[in-house]
Amino acid sequence: MIEKLAAQLGTSTDINAIRQAVVSQEFSNHPNSRTLILIAQYPFLIIGKIKEVISDYLLIETEITNVSDLDNEMLRVHIDDIEVFYIEEDGVPIPDIRVDRDD
């Protein structure tokens, strides 16, 4: 299975290279889509629009982060630092977490 995927991606059977290629391609396939990303370093949450994939970096225009000073900024996120991501698709939007709710 890994060999087949590596051949399709034009890379070696190194699982990290495969992961990077697959994740980069997923973001490249969805320009201007909203995405939710979790990275482990802080832990850090980013919600924003995918602008571009440059090599192994994702350029994202942030809407919301867990550090409000970084809201509405352009960030470069290394693909290898992304632990979890979700790309918004038709019918399943990323909720606005800033909205106060009366539950």
CATH number of the domain within which 16 lies: 2.30.30.100
How far apart (Å, rounded) are the C-alpha atoms in residues 28 and 20? Answer: 12
Q: What is the pLDDT of residue 5?
A: 66
Q: Is residue 9 part of a domain?
A: yes
Q: What is the pLDDT of residue 22?
A: 87
Q: Is residue 23 part of a domain?
A: yes
How far apart (Å, rounded) are the C-alpha atoms in residues 17 and 86? Answer: 20
Q: Is residue 62 part of a domain?
A: yes
Number of Cβ within a 10 Å radius of residue 48: 25
Listed in order, strand segments (DSSP E) in 1-103 are: 34-39, 44-54, 57-65, 74-78, 82-87
Q: What is the pLDDT of residue 98?
A: 77
61 is in which domain, residue-wise? 2-87
Q: Is residue 47 part of a domain?
A: yes
Number of Cβ within a 10 Å radius of residue 99: 6
Q: Is residue 96 part of a domain?
A: no
Query: How many domains is the chain built from?
Result: 1
Q: Is residue 98 part of a domain?
A: no
Q: Is the pLDDT of residue 8 over 80?
A: no
The structure's pTM equals 0.79
* Placement of tokens 């942030």 in the chain: 62
Q: Is residue 40 part of a domain?
A: yes
Q: Is the pLDDT of residue 47 over 90?
A: yes
Q: Is residue 69 part of a domain?
A: yes
Kindly report the backbone phi and psi dihedral angles of residue 10, in degrees, each rounded to the nearest multiple of 5, phi listed first.
70, 35
Secondary structure (3-state) at 96: coil
